[in-house]
Amino acid sequence: MNQRDILIDIDHRQDIITLTLQQEQLIQQAVTACYELEDWPKDFEVSLSFVMNEEIQTLNRDYRGKDQPTDVLSFPMDTTDNAPEKLLGDIVISVEKMVDQATEYGHSVDREMIYLVVHSTLHLMGYDHMTEKDKQMMREKEETIMKRLALIR
């Protein structure tokens, strides 16, 4: 399969950025790199939504009990063989947080956006950072993927 076999549905519910074709391709490459690193079947769809702080705060409150905006949320779907659709899950990114964090960390918005996509895709694949061991494993995978994409810090 080639990169176009991985379906990424991008939804814009914000008015801060407009993705370029190059940025969309970079998102595609990031998800593809995650699939390849994890030897994940490439026929799973990912839904990616770019939203404002207000919307992500509502989602964060409703689904995580945290009434504050966050940078990204991941909503994994049932990926068993019995699942009716091949949907890996939904990623929701706050564009406001993404832009602020890029400035705070001193790197490009593209780098921050792709890091959030990689981080969330790994969450959709079952990784978390609840323990120090899990956090270290997830960070190593993120760094490996970001290096492959030439987006290291």
Residues 143 and 91: their CA atoms lie apart, in Å, by 19
Q: What is the DSSP letter of 3?
A: G
Who's near 65: CB < 8 A, 6+ residues apart?
Answer: none
Which amino acid is present at 130? M
Residue 4: strand, helix, or coil:
helix
119 is in an annotated binding site: yes
Separation CA 147–CA 43 (nearest Å)? 24
Tokens of 132: 């120090």
Q: Is residue 107 a known part of a binding site?
A: no
What are the DSSP calls for 61-100, one per residue?
A: HHHHS--S--SEEEEE---STT-SS-EEEEEEEEHHHHHH
**Is 123 among the annotated ligand-binding positions?**
yes
Cite the annotated binding site by residue number.
Answer: 119, 123, 129
Annotated binding site for Zn(2+), which residues? 119, 123, 129
